[in-house]
Amino acid sequence: MSPEKPLLVVCGATGNQGGSVINYFLSQPSNPYALRGITRDPSSAKSQALAAQGVEMVAGDFNHPLSLDSAFKGASAIFGVNDFWVYFRNAEKRGEAEAKGENWGALSRDNDTQEIKSIIDAASRVPALERFVLASMANSNKLSGGKYAECYHFEGKAIAEDYGRQNQPELWKKTSVLYVGFYLENYLGPMSAFFLPKLNKTKSCLVLNLGDLLPSVSWPWCAAIDDTGVLVAGLLRSLPGQRVIGNREWLTMLDITKILAELVDATDVEVSSEPVSFDMGDTLVTTDNMHMIGFSAEFGYDGHLAGNEVTEPSKLGISLPSVKEWFQQQDWASKIQTVE
């Protein structure tokens, strides 16, 4: 009989990042880990699909810290990730807070921080834990000297990371931090309404209508669904103490437009001089994203231009495909519109 495998516990197992970690290890012919996934609902269709593949799916809620003690029990390794937007989207709580004149963005940041602190503290209580990988973001507020103070979906994670480093020194000796880059999947979701260039009337030119700043901002692109597992596996193989910016390549949206042009047989690309509105339908979401863009342009998405020391995956021998390969795998002909 083969000896029991060490247990990897994955937060957010039904989501993009956690799901990628589970899928990566499930796809390995000699998977070194037994896998346990955490979800708020083990009876959901996604949880059941993972359970059918041999993943032990257990209930756990980042807002109920004690539930994490049983969910993390026996772990040799933990991947910690949560989702800022779940709390942010709670319309009832938001209504109550705003009626009292409270800042919902800041409250959502504080909740994000609290959820990750709960993950960190619960991980610190696992006696046999050998490795912890935490998904975090750069502290856009602190690193910009307060200039970009409203990118709450970055800041809350960074505050929790600092908390862990300062308050859980024993856990931190086993910890690496992953800054997941800007999702390539954003090109497939609602944000594509802003990012995706359009073909001109003759279909010979791809036109990018993103104002002055955005086309030239360099982003660390990461396919969250395909790449997070590769990155976390690489961090688990490496010595702890790493802070990695998970990305395939740093490219501007103009660079990406050139990649797309090839795929839709356009011979030219152009940046439109038309005025552009980044209204995302919710002032807080728009402001949060504007601060992310400003911070990324001036200080780097991961804050490296403000002295935040982060490592590229290749430095740890982690190899990811090119951004172009991801674009080649999607069907753009049906997604790219033609200018009216």
Ligand X SMILES: NC(=O)c1ccc[n+]([C@@H]2O[C@H](COP(=O)([O-])OP(=O)(O)OC[C@H]3O[C@@H](n4cnc5c(N)ncnc54)[C@H](OP(=O)(O)O)[C@@H]3O)[C@@H](O)[C@H]2O)c1
Nearer to ligand X, 141 or 199 (CB): 141
Give the nearest distance from C-beta 59 to ligand X in angstroms. Answer: 9
Our separate counts of H helices and E strands in the chain read 14, 13
105 binds ligand X, rule: CB under 6 A: no
214 binds ligand X, rule: CB under 6 A: no
182 binds ligand X, rule: CB under 6 A: yes
Helix, strand or coil, per DSSP, at residue 100: coil
**224 neighbors 183 (Cβ within 8 angstroms):** yes
Helix, strand or coil, per DSSP, at residue 303: coil
Q: Which stretch binds ligand X (CB under 6 A): 60-68, 249-257, 264-272, 327-335?
A: 60-68
Q: Which of 10, 18, 35, 139 binds ligand X (CB under 6 A)?
A: 18
β pairing state of 198-199 and 205-208: antiparallel
**259 neighbors 326 (Cβ within 8 angstroms):** no
Per-residue contact string for residues 162-181; x = within reach of ligand X by CB under 6 A: ------------------x-
Token couple for 96: 């109550």
**182 neighbors 302 (Cβ within 8 angstroms):** no
Q: Which of 148, 152, 183, 194 binds ligand X (CB under 6 A)?
A: 183
Q: Which of 17, 114, 139, 311 binds ligand X (CB under 6 A)?
A: 17
Query: Any alpha helices (H) in the chain, and if so which ranges?
Result: 16-26, 45-52, 65-72, 84-88, 91-99, 104-124, 140-143, 152-167, 169-172, 192-195, 224-237, 253-263, 283-299, 323-328
Give the nearest distance from C-beta 291 to ligand X in angstroms. Answer: 13
Nearer to ligand X, 60 or 313 (CB): 60
Q: Which of 62, 152, 250, 295 binds ligand X (CB under 6 A)?
A: 62
Q: Which residues bind ligand X (CB under 6 A)?
A: 12-18, 38-41, 44, 60-63, 81-86, 153, 180, 182-183, 186, 224
